[in-house]
Amino acid sequence: MKKNTPGIPEYRLIEKLFGQVLQQLRKECGVSQEELGFESGYHRTYISQLERGKKSPSLQTIFQLAKALKVEPSQIVERIQTLVAPRSK
Amino acid sequence: MKKNTPGIPEYRLIEKLFGQVLQQLRKECGVSQEELGFESGYHRTYISQLERGKKSPSLQTIFQLAKALKVEPSQIVERIQTLVAPRSK
């Protein structure tokens, strides 16, 4: 069922794009990985792994991070969708 | 960092609400757990566990299920937000 994008399997793609969006939002907030970790209740190392697409966030994690970044969780997902869309055409 | 809602910890709440939303969307689509499982590439048992809030979906899972249900992943998350909102006031 899993479609491949050249070079990168889709399940890794979503994680990669989540990482990009997380980093963007964190920078827009002007906070460090450490500060975001503190605000969201996660370790800085985990934030770093998420930003590099090395870990897959659970829905709960997305809600926690969104709260710390003062955005709606759906906004994070929307940003990922806009990045996925051009690739799946 | 994790806030409690009376009786149910927030991390379980998100999973519970995801389960409700998943079941709603599946019924709106008029498909069985088995059919949704087939479409999304997951086992019916896993769909059932998700609907009962027994499993936490990863972002990847949300994207796979949304595709099978022909909705945007962000729509799933928005529906959860609207259910979370009244409780956190």
Options 1.20.120.1200, 1.10.260.40, 3.40.50.720, 3.40.190.10; CATH of A9-88: 1.10.260.40
Nearest CA in chain B to A38: B1
Task: Render pLDDT for A49-67 as a digit per residue (tens, 0 to 9).
Answer: 999 999 999 999 999 999 9
Q: Which of A7-11, A59-63, B66-70, B74-78 has the lowest mean pLDDT?
A: A7-11
This model of the complex carries an ipTM of: 0.81
**pTM of whole model > 0.90?**
no
Q: Of A2, A57, A73, which is closest to B77 when you measure between CB atoms?
A: A73
Whose CA is closest to B81, among A61, A72, A15? A72
Options 3.30.1490.20, 3.30.450.40, 1.10.10.10, 1.10.260.40; CATH of B10-88: 1.10.260.40
For testing the chain A interface, which of B15, B22, B63 should be mutated: the one with the most A CBs within 10 Å?
A: B63
Task: Show the low-confidence residues of chain A (pLDDT under 70).
Answer: 1-11, 87-89
CA pair distance B54, B12, nearest whole angstrom: 9
For chain B, the three-class secondary structure string (H helix, E strand, C coil) is CCCEECCEEHHHHHHHHHHHHHHHHHHHHCCCHHHHHHHHCCCHHHHHHHHCCCCCCEHHHHHHHHHHHCCCHHHHHHHHHHHHHHHHC
Q: Are B27 and B21 in contact (CB under 8 A)?
A: no
CB contact under 8 A, B81 and A72: yes
Task: Render pLDDT for B21-38 as a digit per residue (tens, 0 to 9).
Answer: 999 999 999 999 999 999
Q: Break chain A into its structural domains and give their ranges.
A: 9-88
